[in-house]
Structure 1
Amino acid sequence: MSSAPARITNDHLSVTVAALGAEIQSIDLSDGRPLLWHGDPAFWAGRAPVLFPIVGRAPGDRIAVNGQTAPMAQHGFARRSLFTRIAADARYCRHELAASAETRALYPCDFRLTITHALDGPRLTIRAEVANEGPTPMPFGFGFHPAFLWPLPGAAGRAHRVVLDNGASPALARLDGGFLPEQRHPSPFDSGVLQLDPAQFAADAMIFPEGAGSGLTYGAEGGPALQFRFENLPHLALWSKPGAPFVCIEPWHGMAARCGGPPDLAARPGTILLAAGASTRFACQITLV
């Protein structure tokens, strides 16, 4: 099928998805106002990359799988790979990336990664399926990395916050040189509520390895807001650049390598070891509320 961006739309939202990385390029309201960051490289050229087969950095930007060591850039190669659109209509599109000689030189596994974007009323659902089509267990990490405008449309000058569904105050981890230390810091959440402040991102991402739950709401006090639900994505990160008009809401299964840790992908925190012939699924639902 065509490599041009797919466009799906309904009475509430309009979404475009590129073949490169199966990455969302835009999420617009029915009146045309954008919700998604537009990828200005002055701050960050990404918009909503898919993270596979690693989340975060690897030591020396190299990973080891089954004794094979190879280069691996931050967040993996899926975000820089051309997917094939295998199905689409007005309300959904599906893209697929399968193992090739090029990917096996970096990651010696026979995988198939399928990403589906679907609209249902004011809800966008992003589903991912990872299949191990090889004869041995397959280690990998997976994550979503969408960036939303901060402030949201119609909310300029108003405080924005992230509210966890579970009302928790999960401990904070800060990267050290791009890697995950054992140290944890006091939570910036107060009974599940985080008032966003650009200064919070001066030390890079805020990572919550445990306890953030499976859902949250991001928005301005009094609205508008976006409600998120996560499936099989137990780790959460929030990221921006000081002064940048976006915030990333990042649900993950897997994280950066530990400080001083080995390059072995299987040793990374949160790594999934998928049995031969098996598959697993992840999902992120985003609802306009």
Structure 2
Amino acid sequence: MSETIRIASAELAVEVSTLGAEMQSLKTADGRNWLWNGDAAWWTGRSPILFPIVGKAPGDMLAVNGKTYPMAQHGIARRREFVIVEQTATACRHELVSSAETREVYPFDFRLTLEHSLQLRTLTVTATVENTGLGPLPFGIGFHPAFLWPLPGAEGKPHAVILDNGAEPGVIQLEGGLIGKTLPTSPFKAGRLALSHDLFANDALIFPEGAGTGLKFAAEGGPSLHFSFGNLPNIALWQKPGAPFLCVEPWHGMAAHAGGTAELVERPYTVALAAGDEMRFGFTVEIRDEG
């Protein structure tokens, strides 16, 4: 059975489930929940961790050295029970360790640790991947948190995503959930993307590079969420068209190429971690009531 634990600062409270080490709520002290609630009418996810792949594999089959394994979209970690290894008032740490069951679909030894910590109105989420095997560990990893759109208290206001670097990064079109062509123009103008539901009519907007290490999701004249990303070069934005949420997804890894190979090591931005090494990935989000 899954267990949900709660951590809190003076300004924020977070609930995290052992199933997928997935955040269930993100509430300010006034009781407003900024995280999507997982309503099955739209999407049951809230903030899944994506490992050992991000996105889809061709035919939901992953190849390792020519041998194929069944692998659903976004990998195996979000569907497995993690163990709580540490909890304080303001932080918690969950762990998933490879097993005979995981090796049947992902033939590697690993330890995946997910930590949530709070300081005032800032949440930090950090994933650590450790290679506990004898050879290289190939993987992709990503975060998939969904936040309310419109933001709490900002109903009827225009919303936008604004890149810290002011760039106009290239965007990729998905083809059946796989990486397709780069579109000729960026939806960002001078670092700003005015949000509308029709942007997501053809699935997620994926920016493989150039979106930088920080952005804000903001309501005009209203509240905003300020993000920073560490060791996560790819960014995606997604919603079910018309749904009342927006996913802000920093990744290190992407779906396989449409028409390309199913080999894990040939997926874009795959990490190859040496035996005995570990690597950290993470993001922070600060909630602000204005701008």
Shorter-chain TM-score bucket reads over 0.9
Equivalent residue number for residue 193 of structure 2: 194
2:30 alignment partner AA: D
Match of 1:209 in 2: 208
Amino acid at match of 1:285: T
Looking at structure 1, the residues matched to 184 and 30 of structure 2 have their Cα atoms a distance apart, in angstroms, of 42
Deviations 1:149-179 (A, max 9, x none): 0011110000011000000000111101111
3-state SS of the aligned residue for 2:181? coil
Amino acid aligned to 1:34: N
Task: Give the Cα separation in 2 of the matches to 1:204 and 1:181.
Answer: 12
SS of the residue corresponding to residue 79 of structure 1 reads helix
Runs (4 or more) in structure 1 with deviation over 4 Å come to none
Shift in Å, 1:181? 1.5
Shift of 1:223: 2.2
Counterparts of 1:58-97 in structure 2 under 5 Å?
58-97=57-96
Aligned to 1:169: 168
Give unpaired runs (5+ residues) of structure 1. Answer: none
Query: C-alpha root-mean-square deviation of aligned residues, in Å?
Result: 1.0
Query: Which residue identity does 1:88 align to in structure 2?
Result: Q
Q: Within 1, Cα distance between the matches of 2:100 and 2:34?
A: 37
TM-score (normalizing by structure 2): 0.97
Structure 2 matches for 1:6-45, cutoff 5 A?
A: 6-45=5-44
Cα contact 1:3–1:84 (8 A) shared by 2? no
Structure 2 counterpart of 1:199, one-letter code: D
SS of corresponding position for 1:266: helix
Would you say the 8 A contact 1:5–1:18 is kept in 2? yes
Q: CA deviation at 1:29?
A: 1.2
1:60 & 1:177 partners in 2: Cα distance?
10
Pairing of 1:258-269 with structure 2 (within 5 A)? 258-269=257-268
Counterpart position of 2:125: 126
Aligned residues: 288
TM-score relative to the length of structure 1: 0.98
Partner of 1:60, secondary structure, is helix
Q: Take 2:276 and 2:241, find their aligned partners in 1: how far apart are those partners? A: 44
* Matches of 2:176 and 2:65, distance apart in 1: 26
Query: 1:212 aligns to what SS in structure 2?
Result: coil
CA contact (8 A) 1:14 1:27 kept: yes
Please name the residue that 2:281 is paired with: 282
Q: Which letter does structure 1 place at the counterpart of 2:99?
A: S
- Match of 1:42, SS state, is coil
Identical counterparts, % of pairs: 57
**Match of residue 237 from structure 2:** 238
Local SS of the residue matching 1:182: strand
1:263 shift after superposition: 1.1
**TM superposition shift of 1:241:** 1.4
1:152 is matched with: 151
Question: Is the CA contact (8 Å cut-off) linking 1:208 and 1:236 kept in structure 2?
Answer: yes
Deviation at 1:3, TM superposition (A): 4.7
Deviates most, 18-27 or 174-183:
174-183
1:88-119 CA-partner distances (Å, limit 9, x unpaired)? 01100000000000000000100000000000
Which structure 2 residues correspond to residues 172-183 of structure 1 after superposition, within 5 A?
172-183=171-182
Secondary structure at the residue paired with 1:180? Answer: strand
- SS of the residue corresponding to residue 181 of structure 1 reads strand
Unmatched segments (≥5 aa) in structure 2: none
- Give, as a single letter, the amino acid of the residue that structure 1 aligns with 2:277: A
